[in-house]
Structure 1
């Protein structure tokens, strides 16, 4: 019976040419109201959860405690049919019911209305199904569509919005007026434009649902590092310090200063130029320091304003490109206008075009050796005396 209802609902929701919702509305409006279903004296909730919803016996026992008022399979059958119509698998449905047993008692009209609203926002059936899996409790409530309408312009597309909600589904239940909107307003006050705010909140979705006073504290911490509001690095600096204690950040700054032999002024310059160095592990920073200072021969004062190098992969970029640069220099193939920093900051495409391709005849093995170096090997041609 449930399978039949599922097939009917799927056909109604997604058949062409009529829109899914208009077809569903016609079906609901032309169907005569069913008479009240009397309580089924033989209906056992626990058995229903096991046999129909796919729960294990212990899960069913726990879930049944929240469904003491359920006396008939009529409403849960309708809910299950709607979920199946969205393409949810039996395992998905079992997980949903185990997490939120009261979903089986939700008003089908509300669920159908939410499906209509989400489809009207441009969400596909599979995207709606993903959303249900992320927040089934809010999905059975009326405000879900209006909440998503609020977030959609911020993140730009249903795909981006779903990506953010997968990281922080609490956005669906956060207080927009008292928490989310004040946080967004404050970020705008900090000089961040819509694009920067979207990038920041995509990488840190928790930021939107955090208490406004904590977000302000993060901004104050960012400014204490010398990164002023409105600067191009403020967003990245906020991302680097977010949800980290002042003590932890101070310890990381001290480690940078010690490892790269920087003065207070130099470590300040380094953090301002590339705030994400604060998120690098101590081991990575130590190995990078030893390579740049001891092997490449760069001075600490030279590295500080070029600290973006510290966020590049040592094995996949800094070391292999140094080998190529040294090889070309020793063989008289390197234009003197290129510094090591300009070489490592170039995109991979530009690097290959400028430093690999022009030397196919003079060094036909260079591309192969460079690829090997990127894999962590050191080809014979890159072993320098």
Structure 2
């Protein structure tokens, strides 16, 4: 028996030595904590941590239990100081809760040493307080990344390409995850692939600024997409080329196929779909709901052939609330009075500028239909109020 106890004691010592010498992992930390500290004290700390995360930090019970595996505190000072820090810099309680739930380790960080320098960096680059709040809230992991080794080098990469801090900051605001990846792995390679294909730098810069996530694709896959876009007949020197690339990199194969099926439901053939895509690649970027709602309006509400829309795919991207419905309200009045033909051009109705539409379809019929301007403005205002409520 004595021999067995001695053996177990040696084994335990060896295991602790091995664990302490190895790089600690999140899985090993709870074991070390329970071994190195009295069980009662550890249990109390764990219980307090879970309770505080739930009651003061907005964590669910499950999230609190998960977070408590990696951090322990016996008093609320540290997590409270982190909450106070975010609050003092314009973050709402719900935003702070979301950030700390996503990155619970932040709750035991030193706000002045670890968090503040990152906010100050963004301020120094021209970001406003609301900008910084949006950047961090949309990508909380930024607050865990090294300022010197990750955030600044990534920012400088984009600044060197754009030759503009303002444009770089605009890119970060649109997709803040660009700062947590190594741009030399995917972004740089994909920029080079576009340049080699003959895409002008100005078009590359526009795509990178407006849709940076399109460059986060594996280089081999990105080059395959470029080859496909070329085979479709897109000219690399034109702006439609990077838009087509954006469309094909921005969705999974299953999503792409669902959108094709959506158009087929309106009677489009595959030739119709590819023709529309080559004319306006945006037609494959719009959501399925947007596609279905717009096609339903033109076909069922206005009684137009769906093939007409395939020839003018730009129409699909127009806003139903802000443009199509207000303008159609004018059309209905003119039709009821026999002032225009029922087959009036969709291009003239919906693709013309605001000024051209008013001159031709509103001001041109002041005597016959003096109520048109008020009707049109009322519909436009209603769409604005609906957006405000949303």
- Asked if TM exceeds 0.5, the reply is yes
Shift of 1:356: 0.5
SS in 1 for 2:71: coil
TM-score (norm 1): 0.63
Separation of aligned partners in 2, 1:156 and 1:365: 45
The question of whether the paired residues in 2 share the 8 Å contact of 1:270 and 1:305 is answered with yes
Match of 2:387 in 1: none
Q: Which residue of 1 aligns with 2:279?
A: 273
Shift of residue 291, structure 1, vs aligned partner: 6.1
| TM, length-normalised to structure 2 | 0.62
Structure 1: gaps spanning 5 or more residues: 1-40, 377-385
Residue 230 of structure 2: SS of its match in structure 1?
helix
- 2-structure distance, mates of 1:71, 1:297: 70
For 1:373 and 1:82, locate their aligned partners in 2 and report how far apart those are by CA, in whole Å: 45
Match for residue 132 of structure 2?
A: 128
Which of 229, 233, 248 is the equivalent residue of 1:241?
248
1:1-385 paired onto structure 2 within 5 Å? 44=45, 46-47=47-48, 50-51=51-52, 54-55=56-57, 58=61, 59-68=63-72, 79=82, 82-106=85-109, 108-140=112-144, 141-142=146-147, 143-151=150-158, 153=162, 156=167, 158=169, 161-165=172-176, 169=177, 171-193=178-200, 196-197=203-204, 199-201=206-208, 204-244=211-251, 259=266, 264=271, 268-279=274-285, 281=288, 283-284=292-293, 287=296, 290=299, 295=303, 305-312=311-318, 316=325, 319-320=328-329, 323=332, 326=335, 330-331=338-339, 340-368=346-374
C-alpha RMSD over aligned residues = 4.6
How many angstroms does 1:339 deviate by? 5.0
d(CA) in 1 for partners of 2:262, 2:83? 56
The Cα shift of 1:66 comes to: 0.7
Q: Is the 8 A contact 1:180 1:209 kept in 2?
A: yes
Identify the structure with the greater helix proportion. Answer: 2
C-alpha distance in 2 between matches for 1:80 and 1:285: 45
1:203-243 CA deviation, whole Å, 9 max, x = no partner? 64432222122222333333343323222322332333334
Q: Distance in 1 between matches of 2:273 and 2:94?
A: 53
1:144 Cα deviation after fit: 1.9
- Whether the aligned pair in 1 keeps the contact of 2:217 and 2:249 (CA below 8 Å) is no
Report if the CA contact (8 A) 1:183-1:212 is conserved: yes
Q: CA deviation at 1:351?
A: 0.4
1:247 shift after superposition? 7.8
| Alignment CA distance shift 1:179-1:232 (3 Å) | closer
Provide closer, same or farther for how the CA distance between residues 48 and 88 of structure 1 changes in structure 2, counting only shifts above 3 A: farther
TM-aligned CA deviation for residue 121 of structure 1: 1.1
How many pairs are equivalent?
Answer: 322
Q: Name the SS for the 1:87 alignment partner.
A: coil
8 A contact 2:229–2:245 mirrored in 1: yes
